[in-house]
């Protein structure tokens, strides 16, 4: 039923006169379908709305985000709005920061990570002690980390590196590292020196932050850390400029060995995460290494580990992923890998921003070019 509505909408798009009402009706039906149980219907509805003219879709999506009776529809409507990048979305996002629904509030926090506005900082900082949900709090702390040049943010985040539940501490460490928060090097270095569940996150963060202090900690760790931690240390050392070619070669060799040998899952995870860290920083050769193993391996655990690494690269560095796919004659296997990753990661707002970047690259590429073909393969394969 929905597919027929969407086909009808496509037929009347841009046609003036009475048929404009049919377009509005079809788009309204698509908005309502964002929250239905059937995944295919939700996917078709989102595709229709993404391809609608902003003047037609944005008012409907804004209205739905504010007042639709179904909370999941409100959430998805706002996520789709982030892809249109309209000025009015900023006002809506500010209004939704206090929303009662966790998903909606999370998406609103994430908007301000991608669209910095210092005026919202008091609201974000005020929310920090109150947001205790395992889904909401990481989004809030990551958004705050994007404002790390503000003293109030530093004062709020630094204590959380060493205090609280491990899940939340990991998200804070990752966020500060993602935004190169040198102000927390001492605290993150302390975590990196301790054998435990947060050590890998802290090592990766030190690599992203860089600087002499981080480098000294990583060099010392390399001399004493156990085997399974070495891939992460090598990746971080590469990021801080210590023998990057040699470190990457070690990671590739480790990945090949761990993927082909049973009983080395921790080493496999470390190698995939390490190469993913380098690829996310723009090293296409690291991403190519992940792709090569993904094409060759049929092991489900190997594929899952690779998918997560590649998916995180896609969200951090969409154009690096597109560059690598552009050289592939048949990118379908690799696109499926990203699709699997997106299903596992469930980062709706980040995935929408990924789509925006790939769509922009598609229109910028020459017609019939390999780049446009790769972008189209991603858009279609990821069901955008």
268 and 383 housed in the same domain: yes
17 and 48 housed in the same domain: yes
63 and 116 housed in the same domain: no
Spell out the residues 6+ positions from residue 186 whose beta carbon is closer than 8 angstroms to its own.
213
307 in any annotated domain: yes
333 and 288 housed in the same domain: yes
**How many structural domains comprise the chain?**
3
Structural domain including 214 reads 97-225
For 136, phi then psi, to 5°, come to: -80, -45
Here the tokens at position 78 are 């706002």
Residue 49 CA, distance from chain mean position: 21
Q: In 3D, which of 312, 281, 284, 306 has the Cα closest to residue 294?
A: 306
Residue 357 CA, distance from chain mean position: 12
Query: Which of 206, 225, 244 is where one domain is finished?
Result: 225
> Distance between CA 46 and CA 153 in Å, rounded?
35
Q: How much is the pLDDT for 167?
A: 94
Q: How much is the pLDDT for 185?
A: 98
Here the tokens at position 94 are 């500010």
| pTM, 2 dp | 0.91
61 and 154 housed in the same domain: no
**Mean pLDDT of the region 24-37:** 93
Here the tokens at position 63 are 């209205």
Query: Which of 36, 59, 86 is where one domain is finished?
Result: 86
pLDDT at 316 over 90: yes
End-to-end CA distance of the chain: 20
| 3-state DSSP percent of the chain in helix, strand and coil, to 5 | 75, 0, 25
297 in any annotated domain: yes
194-226: pLDDT as tens digits? 999 999 999 999 999 999 999 999 999 999 889
pLDDT at 369 over 80: yes
350 in any annotated domain: yes
245 in any annotated domain: no
Residue 277 CA, distance from chain mean position: 13
Q: How much is the pLDDT for 17?
A: 44
> Distance between CA 58 and CA 250 in Å, rounded?
49
The domain that contains 122 carries what CATH number?
1.25.10.10
Q: Considering only 7-21, 86-100, 356-370, which range has the smallest mean pLDDT?
A: 7-21
pLDDT at 321 over 60: yes
> Distance between CA 182 and CA 188 in Å, rounded?
10
Here the tokens at position 51 are 């391809």
290 and 316 housed in the same domain: yes
Q: How much is the pLDDT for 332?
A: 79
The fraction of the chain above a pLDDT of 90, given in percent, is: 87
Residue with tokens 């891939």: 231
> Distance between CA 273 and CA 289 in Å, rounded?
12
Half-sphere exposure of 206 (CA within 13 A, CB side): 32
The fraction of the chain above a pLDDT of 70, given in percent, is: 94
Q: How much is the pLDDT for 310?
A: 95
Q: How much is the pLDDT for 340?
A: 93
240 in any annotated domain: no
262 and 299 housed in the same domain: yes
Q: How much is the pLDDT for 331?
A: 73
pLDDT at 245 over 80: yes
> Distance between CA 5 and CA 122 in Å, rounded?
44
28 in any annotated domain: yes
Residue 63 CA, distance from chain mean position: 26
86-118: pLDDT as tens digits? 999 999 999 999 999 999 999 999 999 999 999
101 and 72 housed in the same domain: no
68 and 101 housed in the same domain: no
242 in any annotated domain: no
Q: In 3D, which of 166, 169, 168, 128 has the Cα closest to residue 147?
A: 128
286 and 367 housed in the same domain: yes
pLDDT band at 40 (very low <50, low <70, confident <90, very high): very high
Q: How much is the pLDDT for 19?
A: 57
Query: Which of 178, 206, 225 is where one domain is finished?
Result: 225
169-186: pLDDT as tens digits? 999 999 999 999 999 999
**Mean pLDDT of the region 347-353:** 96
* Choice between 332 and 150, residue whose per-residue pLDDT is larger: 150
Do 310 and 338 form a contact (C-beta atoms < 8 A)? yes
301 and 212 housed in the same domain: no
Average pLDDT over the chain reads 92
The H or E element spanning position 273 is: helix 265-280
16 in any annotated domain: yes
277 and 372 housed in the same domain: yes
> Distance between CA 79 and CA 90 in Å, rounded?
13
b/e sequence 123-160, b meaning 16+ C-beta within 10 Å: ebbebeeebeeeebbbbbbbbbbbbbeeeebbebbbeb
> Distance between CA 101 and CA 35 in Å, rounded?
14
């Amino acid at each position: 039923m929905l597919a027929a509505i969407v086909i009808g909408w496509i037929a009347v798009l841009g046609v003036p006169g009475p048929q404009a009402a049919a377009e509005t009706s079809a788009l309204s039906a698509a908005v309502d379908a964002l929250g239905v149980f059937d995944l295919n219907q939700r996917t078709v509805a989102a595709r229709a709305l993404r391809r609608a003219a902003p003047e037609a879709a944005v008012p409907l999506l804004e209205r739905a985000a504010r007042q639709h009776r179904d909370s999941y529809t409100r959430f998805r409507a706002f996520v789709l709005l982030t892809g249109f990048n309209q000025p009015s979305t900023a006002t809506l996002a500010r209004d939704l920061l206090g929303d009662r629904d966790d998903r909606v509030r999370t998406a609103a926090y994430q908007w301000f990570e991608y669209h910095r506005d210092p005026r919202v900082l008091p609201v974000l900082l005020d929310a920090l002690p109150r947001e205790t949900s395992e889904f909401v709090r990481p989004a809030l702390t990551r958004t705050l980390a994007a404002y790390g040049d503000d003293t109030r943010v530093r004062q709020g985040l630094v204590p959380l590196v060493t205090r609280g539940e491990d899940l939340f501490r990991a998200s804070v460490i990752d966020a500060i590292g993602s935004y190169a928060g040198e102000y927390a090097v001492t605290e993150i270095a302390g975590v990196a020196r301790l054998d435990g569940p947060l050590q890998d996150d802290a090592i990766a963060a030190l690599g992203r932050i860089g600087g002499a202090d981080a480098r000294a900690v990583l060099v010392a760790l390399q001399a004493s850390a156990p085997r399974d931690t070495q891939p992460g240390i090598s990746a971080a050392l590469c990021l801080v400029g210590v023998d990057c070619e040699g470190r990457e070669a070690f990671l590739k060799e480790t990945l090949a060995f761990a993927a082909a040998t049973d009983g080395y899952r921790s080493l496999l995870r470390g190698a995939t995460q390490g190469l993913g860290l380098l690829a996310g920083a723009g090293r296409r050769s690291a991403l190519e290494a992940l792709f090569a193993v993904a094409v060759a391996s049929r092991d489900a655990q190997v594929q899952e580990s690779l998918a997560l690494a590649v998916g995180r690269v896609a969200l951090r560095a969409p154009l690096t992923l597109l560059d690598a796919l552009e050289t592939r004659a048949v990118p379908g296997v690799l696109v499926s890998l990203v699709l699997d990753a997106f299903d596992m990661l469930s980062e709706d707002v980040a995935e929408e921003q990924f789509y925006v970047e790939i769509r922009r690259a598609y229109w910028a590429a020459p017609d019939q070019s390999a780049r446009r073909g790769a972008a189209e393969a991603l858009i279609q394969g990821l069901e955008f």
